[in-house]
Amino acid sequence: MVGTFPLLSVQPTRGLVDEKIQVVVRNLPPALSVTLHSLHHSEDKDLWEAFGHYTSDGQGTVTVAKDASLGGTYEGAEPMGLLWSMQPVPGSRTGLRLRKMDVLSPMVVHISVYSGHMTEGFSKQSPLATVVTERWYMAPDVCRIDIREHGVRGTLFLPPGPGPFPGVLDMWGGGGGLVEYRSCLLASHGFVSMALEYLPHDKNRTSDIESKTYFEKAFRIVQEHPLVIKDRVALFGLSLGASVALNLAAYSKDISPKCCVCISGSHVIPVNKAIGEVFRKMNKDGYKTRFDEEGRVVWRDIILPIPTDLGEKVDMGRIKCPLMLVVGEDDQNWATVESAKDMTQMMRAAGNEHLLTILQYPDAGHLIEPPYTPHFRASNFIMQQTRQKVIMLWGGYTKPHADAQEDCWEKILSFLRQHLYPSPDSVPKAKL
C-alpha cells in the first residue's frame, strides 16, 4: 500500500480561544474536492460541527486562511470559519447555546478532512485525516479564586506574575448565574478580573443584590486585592450588566471606574435603583414583548421609545471616565442602537462626548462574545423571575456577527490597555 497520505496540520494545537489557527492540508491529489470539518463535544453533551468545501490546488494543498470555501457552514476565505460557524449537529436538541462553564479545561475540537463535498453523515464516514486542537480560556498559570465575601459571590482570576495589575469587574446579563470564561480570558491578557454573580440561579441563595451596594462591594473586592492597582479598575458589562455598569459609573459615590466597556447594553434603566426595580419595570412594560414567526421572544421594544424623563435613564452627562459601547445593529433583544444614539446626544449636550467610543456592527446581534465562538440567533432562556422557559431571539447573522466579535474584542483589549496600562513615559504607544 504505497501511496500518498494527506497531511493535515492545525497550528497551534493548543491555543487561547481568541488566537487564530492555521489549517492546512497537503499531499492531496491536485483539484480534489474535500471537506474540512470541525467537531466539538460540549460539556452539555451536545455535538457541534462546522464544515467548508474546498478544492485542492495544483500542488494538492488546501490553505484555509487563503482558499475560498465553496459552501458549507461558511463560505469564502475564512481562516476561523471552522470555529465561529459551528452549529449543533442535525438531530440535536433545540435552542442550544455553547458556553464553557469549566475554564480549567480546554474546549477540544477535532478537525478532519474528508474526501468529497459532504454536508452530512460525517460520523459515518472515515476521514482522510484528523487533528485535535485545544482552545483555552485560561493561559498557563492564571489563578482562579472563588470569592465569597461580604455576601458577594464571584470568581476572581489573576494573571501570572508579580503584578501589580489593573482590575476589571465583569458582569453578564439577565440570564444570571456565574459565568467565568470572559474574566478568565481577560486575566490571560493581564487583567485581574472578577466574574460577578448577581442573579443567582439557585433561588435558595439570597443575594444582596436588592441593595445597590452589592456592586460597589464587588468593585471594592477587586480594587482592594493586593495585586490590583487601586485607581486602575474598569467596569465591563454585557446586556443588563452594561446597564448596571452605566448606573454605577454615573451615580456611585463610593466607586470610580477608570473606564467602562458596555456591550449590547442600554442606559435606559430605573435610575440609581436596585436590580429588583429593573425587573419590576420590565414586567410593567412586558406588554411590548413581540414574537417572531417562530414564536421566539423579541424584547427589543420594551425600552422603546427611549424615554425623555431623566428618572428613567442614566444621566450620561455624569459619566467621567472613558466609555466604549459595543452595539449590534440587528440586536433583537435590547434597543441598543437607539440607546447608543440617545447616549451620544446626551453626552454631546453635556460636553463629555469625547469620552465616548462606539463600535457599531451591521447585522450583529445581542450576544457579542469573545471571538471565534459560535453565533446564536436565538436560544433557550429561563426568565429570571418566573423560571419560565422561552426561546429568546438575540438577532444577528452568523458571518457579520462573527466579524463583529473578532473586531470588537481586539478593540476592547486595546481600549483596556490604553486606559489601564498606560505607558510610563506618556509617549504615544506603538501599535503592534
Partner 1 sequence: MTEKAASPMLLLHPSRGLIDEKFSLIVQNLSRIQDITLHALIHSDDGDYWEAFGHYVSDATGFVNVANDSSLGGTYDGVEPMGLLWSMRPVPGSRIGLRLRKKEVHTPMVVHISVYRGHMSQGFREQVALASVVTERWYMAPGVRRIDITEGGVTGTLFLPPGPGPFPALLDLWGGGGGLVEYRSALLSSHGFVSLALEYMTPRTSGGSTSHVGNEYFEAAFTVLKQHPQVCGDSIAILGLSFGTSVALGMAVYSTVIQPRCLVCVSGSHVQPVKGSLSDVFGEINKNVRNTRYDEENRVIWRDLLLPIPTDPTKKVDVGQLKCPVLMIVGEDDQNWPATESAEDMKEMMEKAGNSHLLTTLSYPGAGHLIEPPYSPHIRASNFMVAGTKQKLVVLWGGETAPHGHAQEDSWKKILSFLEEHLYRSTDVTSQSNL
What residue ranges bind partner 1 (CB under 8 A)? 1-9, 11-16, 19, 27-29, 32, 108, 110, 112, 115, 126-134, 136, 139-141, 160-166, 188, 190, 229-232, 417, 420-425, 427-430, 432
List all residues 6 or more positions away from 431 whose beta carbon is below 8 Å from its beta carbon.
Answer: none
**Whose CA is closest to 235, among 143, 360, 325?**
325
Q: Which of 239, 243, 264, 379 is catalytic?
A: 239
Is residue 9 annotated as a catalytic residue, yes or no? no
CB of 397 to partner 1, least distance (A): 31
The residues, any chain, with a CB within 8 Å of residue 370's CB and separated by 6 or more, are 17, 18, 181, 182, 185, 405, 409
Q: Residues for the chain: how many in total?
A: 432
Question: Smaller CB distance to partner 1: residue 42 or 133?
Answer: 133
Q: Could you tell me the smallest distance in angstroms from the CB atom of residue 361 to partner 1?
A: 26
What distance in Å separates the CA atoms of residue 272 and residue 247, rounded to the nearest whole number?
6
Mapped to the 3 state alphabet, what secondary structure does 187-255 carry?
HHCCCEEEEEECCCCCCCCCCHHHCCHHHHHHHHHHHCCCCEEEEEEEEEEECHHHHHHHHHHHHCCCC
All three cell numbers of 292 = 417572531
* Nearer of residues 160 and 286 to partner 1, judged by Cβ: 160
Residue 401 among the catalytic residues: no
Quote the least distance from Cβ 250 to partner 1, whole Å. 21
Per the annotation, the verdict on 239 as an active-site residue is: yes
CB of 429 to partner 1, least distance (A): 6
Phi/psi at 392 (5° precision): -95, 130
Between 10 and 392, name the residue whose CB sits nearer to partner 1: 10
Could you tell me the smallest distance in angstroms from the CB atom of residue 131 to partner 1? Answer: 6
Which residues of 339-387 form beta strands (DSSP E)? 356-361, 378-382
Instruction: Name which of 108 and 349 has its Cβ closer to partner 1.
Output: 108
C-beta of 116 vs 307, nearer to partner 1: 116
| CB 273 within 8 Å of CB 251 | no
| Residue at grid coordinates 459560535 | 374
Q: Where do we find the cell 500542488? A: 59
Tell how many helices (H) and how many strands (E) occur in the chain. 7, 21
Nearest approach, Cβ of residue 230 and partner 1 (Å): 8
Closest separation in Å from C-beta 21 to partner 1: 10
Torsion, Cα of 198, 202, 208, 212 (10° steps) = 30
76 or 161, CB closer to partner 1?
Answer: 161
Question: In the complex with partner 1, which residue's Cβ is closer, 139 or 337?
Answer: 139
- Identify the active-site residue in 18, 170, 330, 331: 331
Q: Beta-carbon neighbour count of residue 140 at 10 Å?
A: 8
For residues 268 and 303, the answer to whether their CB atoms sit within 8 Å is yes
Positions annotated as catalytic residues are 239, 331, 366
